[in-house]
Structure 1
Amino acid sequence: MAFDGLFIHSLLKDLRPILVNSRLAKIYQPFNQDLVLTFRKERKNYQLLLSANAQNPRFYLTNQTITNPDKAPTFVMVLRKYLEGSILLAIDQVSVDRIVNFRFSNHNELGDQVQLILSVELMGRHSNVILYNEQTKQIIDLLKRVNPDENRARLLLPKAKYELPPLTPGINGFDLSETEFKQKTLNSNFEEFAGQISGLDRDDRNELIGYLEDNNSYSSFRTFIEQFDKSGAFILKTRQNKRKIFPYLPYHLDLVKESYDTDLNHALDEFYQYQANQDWVRQKARQIERIIKNEQKKLTKKIAKLQKQLDQAENSEGYRIRGEILNANLSKVKPGMTKIELPNYYDNSHLLEIKLDAALSPARNGQKYFKRYKKLRDSIKHVKEQIQIAQTNLNYFESIQTAIDNAEPQDIDQITDELTNQGYIRKQPKQKRAKKMTERNLNKFQLSSGKTVLVGKNNYQNDWLTFKKADKQDWWFHVKNIPGSHVIVQANEISDQDVIEAAEIAAYFSKAKDSAHVTVDYVKDKRVKKPNGAKPGFVIYTGQNSIDVTPEQEQVLSRRIN
């Protein structure tokens, strides 16, 4: 289900006891559409994520480590000025709509107490976070400033008066009495009645319809509505394996229960973690991906051009044959001729048309064909070398793209540093030095046998893991001939089951993660070498064994231990 009004109602029942009367200690904006507010209460810190992402607008407490950017955006600077150190007095929902107001009390520059509201509007592409003065209703600032031409319903700019967005009128199910229920359902079918209840998305409406079809009574309606006053969360899957989260267990939808969590905030954090990571990575990696795309485009064109030259060189025998035939028939070539047909003794004396330069003598025309032939033959080795270099560079950029696909937001800085050192990104004058590599940078897994598996997420991590961290007797895994992570099993001896599980991890963290059958090579770490001058992440190895596996996301990630 979506983050609809009744879902927000459920979430606030868990959130209010934790955050109300807490002090807002820190505010930062790690990504364009996302804010993180750190509250402190009873010697504990709580991180509240607010996201105005058009695809997944949401808010909840998160335990994820989100890097604070070096430079704070303007909106964050404003929030810090007005809200840091303030007390959160209340969290109110506008009816059962997707608007939540966080009410703060703080002191202005004169020491006077002021009441401020941080309004979070979760409305798809119109989602926004707006700070305004509760008394004057004047907007102080907002996450998304909207040009008046783009939204004529209300003005969304600093100093404008805050107004609610146009809301669809409906029935608040929590306030509906039995008498009103009977009146509303008297002349309406179940679909029409459910459509009038505010705060329901399509899944909730269908579930309510199912309740009323089972038992068309006020008691049945109250049973459905009161589920949103309970704690906990259910994760369910559709037939297409799409995951959905509910604050109750639906019985009338075609869904399969996956798990239950007593803490709705924790469930939301887990539920959105993968998607949020992907969104944040894409935002941080935008510049890198542009560079990768441009380099791949240039290299692909270069390889095609070189391949054409190679094909021409490898099929250059025709120039030699024309030169020989001309030399054998010099007397037949007359001055001023631009072409001549002569019998080809390599092809049953069939006539072969030979183009001529009228300004050259017959002998010089023959020499011209021999020179062209020799030049093309001599170029084969060079062209093949250039194709190999271009293909190696193309593979390198594919490995960078794979690293981005497997990255977490904090990994992008390492990838940027790598491309800077390779000369693809201009070094900034005040660019920070890369942090020292540690095991904490890696992905960590545990096999069913208890053995630990370490996984590099980019080329720098791969090199460090393979040549610095790993013991020479550890086992090294990598997909065959495809960009992917270096995977180390920290053990001298491994069982067949260990091989399967480690190979599945290697396959998942590779370009072939969505393939049904992936070939993975594995070998002792001591047999893995890095050629002199090779790009980051590139290695060679000998004496390997191979295994075919099918990576399953759920199964692989269930073994993760960090």
Structure 2
Amino acid sequence: QNQIVTAAHQVSDQQSRVRPIQTGDPYVLPPAIMNTLPSRQESQSSWQERVTLVPSTLKKMLMQSYGGLSSSLVRSLLSAARLTPDQPAETLNQADWDRLFEVWQRWLLCLEKGEFFPGWAEGGYTVLDWEGIAPVADIHALLNQYYSRELNLQQFDRIQNQIRQKLRGVLDKLRQKASTFERRLDQSAQADQQRQQADLLMAYSYQWQPGVTQLTVDDFETGEPITLAIDPDKTAIQQAQRLYKQHQKLKRAKDAVMPLLAEVQAELTYLEQVEAALSQIPTYDEPADLEALNDIRNELIQQGYMTSPDYRPSERKASDEGFRQLQTPDGLPVLVGRNNRQNDLLISTVATDYDLWFHTQEIPGSHVLLRLEAGQVPSDRDLHYVADLAAYFSRARQADQVPVIYTQPRHVYKPKGARPGMVIYKHETVIWGQPRRIERQADNANPLELAQT
């Protein structure tokens, strides 16, 4: 029917008067290129005369003089000739023009012979021999790898922003709720004081006289004189009864608020653990980063904090591929969980009785597993290195010293009904980790690369 069914990119007539493209419009062939096409047979004098006909910047001159050129191609040609796109034509000497024409001819020869040189270039990929940093044999593999990374990067940024916004909103509400409960508990702390005052008023009620506004009596516990305020419209016994009622009210409020506060604090602890895991994946560097981020999102969906119409629960088997894999100075393998799912897997599936489990003490962070063989004893240097890693992959990364505990995996338990990543432990040993030691290694290299297996 010669009609556009759909288009990946809609172009309105306001955007292009030459060729608007919109769903439902009649399909029209691209307009013919009106400008002169580049030719390897054209002499340098003719080429240079054409380019310099209307003096401007080099990029504009080349693109206005010839058809079929893209901005990125022109920038690449100028860069290869050691020139800049915004450089005015009058600043070039003949040696500059000779150099630019030589690059121009090299490009046309590649087109003519169909000889291209795929490889990685600064900021992306190239098929031109002067741009490549690392050559690649298969251009299809190059394009697949490049665009897979670009798509993963876009997906990573989108999911990361979604999780950050959700966590920020939920954590702010929980912290406000916890603050409210704590204020109510502070008020409830006055309950015992009011009961003591009521007891004193009842004991010394015989001293009360009509119209008095205060009564000074001896405290039962200290024997020191204490002055009690009295409503002039009430007797001492009526004032005591009023204080008893307030005491009961505050006591009931305390009993009701304490479990609510404990529940909010437990939820805060869990979400701060999730937030700590998210902070350990600030940028996309490899597919494992996107996988770890998807695990965090899926966990939040399962816990009811996020929704997604395309979410499908999946049970992936544990493998060492997703964990951060490091080595101690003495060559012992170390696994670091990237999120709560991996943290749980380290204990439930991966760890053996010979390993050692590390975690920052009372601070959200990654679970770290030092792998050991039967009878193998780690050196103090290795223990301190793993403690540094546990501190580095925690919310206390910026601290100078961080308390870290370690114990055997059989002493780490997950309570029934506990949220992902939440465990209790016993028979632990405390060791001080210094995350800055790991951070200092990053001055010259990625700390993960320094010990990567």
TM over 0.5: yes
Contact kept, 8 Å, 1:521 with 1:547, in 2: the verdict is yes
Q: Is 1:526 the equivalent of 2:412?
A: no
Which has the larger displacement, 431-440 or 173-182? 173-182
Please state whether the residue corresponding to 1:209 is helix, strand or coil: coil
C-alpha distance 163-346 of structure 1, shift in aligned 2 (>3 A): farther
Tell me the equivalent position of 2:25. Answer: 160
Tell me the equivalent position of 1:437. Answer: 317
Equivalent in 115, 128, 134 of residue 261 of structure 1: 134
C-alpha distance 415-187 of structure 1, shift in aligned 2 (>3 A): closer
The residue identity in structure 2 corresponding to 1:367 is: Q
Tell me the equivalent position of 2:340. Answer: 459
State how far apart, in whole Å, the 2-side matches of 1:520 and 1:150 are: 63
- Computing the radius of gyration over CA atoms, which structure comes out larger, 1 or 2? 2
- 1:459 Cα deviation (Å)? 1.8
Tell me the equivalent position of 2:351. Answer: 470
The residue identity in structure 1 corresponding to 2:120 is: A
Tell me the equivalent position of 2:119. Answer: 232
Please state whether the residue corresponding to 2:24 is helix, strand or coil: coil
The residue identity in structure 1 corresponding to 2:342 is: Q
Contact kept, 8 Å, 1:414 with 1:434, in 2: the verdict is no
Please state whether the residue corresponding to 2:242 is helix, strand or coil: helix
Contact kept, 8 Å, 1:477 with 1:520, in 2: the verdict is no
Q: Is 1:549 the equivalent of 2:435?
A: yes
Q: Spell out, residue by residue over 1:57-95, the C-alpha distance to the aligned partner (whole angstroms, 9 max, x if none).
A: xxxxxxxxxxxxxxxxxxxxxxxxxxxxxxxxxxxxxxx
- 1:217 Cα deviation (Å)? 1.6
- 1:218 Cα deviation (Å)? 1.6
**Structure 2 unaligned runs (5+)?**
64-70, 111-115, 282-287
Q: Is 1:219 the equivalent of 2:98?
A: yes
Percent identity over paired residues: 22
- 1:216 Cα deviation (Å)? 5.2
Q: Size of the alignment, in residue pairs?
A: 398
Tell me the equivalent position of 1:535. Answer: 419
State how far apart, in whole Å, the 2-side matches of 1:273 and 1:504 are: 34
- 1:466 Cα deviation (Å)? 1.5
Q: After the TM superposition, which residues 112-151 of structure 1 pair with which residues of structure 2 at under 5 Å, given as runs?
A: 136=2, 138-143=3-8
Equivalent in 476, 486, 498 of residue 367 of structure 2: 486
- 1:484 Cα deviation (Å)? 2.8
The residue identity in structure 1 corresponding to 2:349 is: K
Please state whether the residue corresponding to 1:439 is helix, strand or coil: coil
- 1:486 Cα deviation (Å)? 1.6
Tell me the equivalent position of 1:392. Answer: 266
Q: After the TM superposition, which residues 72-151 of structure 1 pair with which residues of structure 2 at under 5 Å, given as runs?
A: 136=2, 138-143=3-8
State how far apart, in whole Å, the 1-side matches of 2:51 and 2:213 are: 96
State how far apart, in whole Å, the 1-side matches of 2:191 and 2:308 are: 46
State how far apart, in whole Å, the 1-side matches of 2:4 and 2:93 are: 48
C-alpha distance 162-431 of structure 1, shift in aligned 2 (>3 A): same
State how far apart, in whole Å, the 2-side matches of 1:345 and 1:201 are: 95
C-alpha distance 186-152 of structure 1, shift in aligned 2 (>3 A): closer
Which has the larger displacement, 535-544 or 152-161? 152-161
Using structure 1 for the length normalisation, give the TM-score. 0.53
More strand by share: 1
The residue identity in structure 2 corresponding to 1:398 is: E
Q: Spell out, residue by residue over 1:34-63, the C-alpha distance to the aligned partner (whole angstroms, 9 max, x if none).
A: xxxxxxxxxxxxxxxxxxxxxxxxxxxxxx
**Structure 1 unaligned runs (5+)?**
1-132, 236-243, 252-258, 335-339
Q: Spell out, residue by residue over 1:134-154, the C-alpha distance to the aligned partner (whole angstroms, 9 max, x if none).
A: xx5x433234567x6996766
State how far apart, in whole Å, the 1-side matches of 2:130 and 2:210 are: 92
Contact kept, 8 Å, 1:437 with 1:464, in 2: the verdict is no
C-alpha distance 416-183 of structure 1, shift in aligned 2 (>3 A): closer
Tell me the equivalent position of 1:60. Answer: none
Tell me the equivalent position of 1:115. Answer: none
- 1:331 Cα deviation (Å)? 4.1
Tell me the equivalent position of 1:24. Answer: none
Please state whether the residue corresponding to 1:392 is helix, strand or coil: helix
Q: Spell out, residue by residue over 1:359-381, the C-alpha distance to the aligned partner (whole angstroms, 9 max, x if none).
A: x7652233222332454357557
Q: Is 1:314 the equivalent of 2:186?
A: no
More helix by share: 2
- 1:516 Cα deviation (Å)? 6.8
- 1:410 Cα deviation (Å)? 4.1
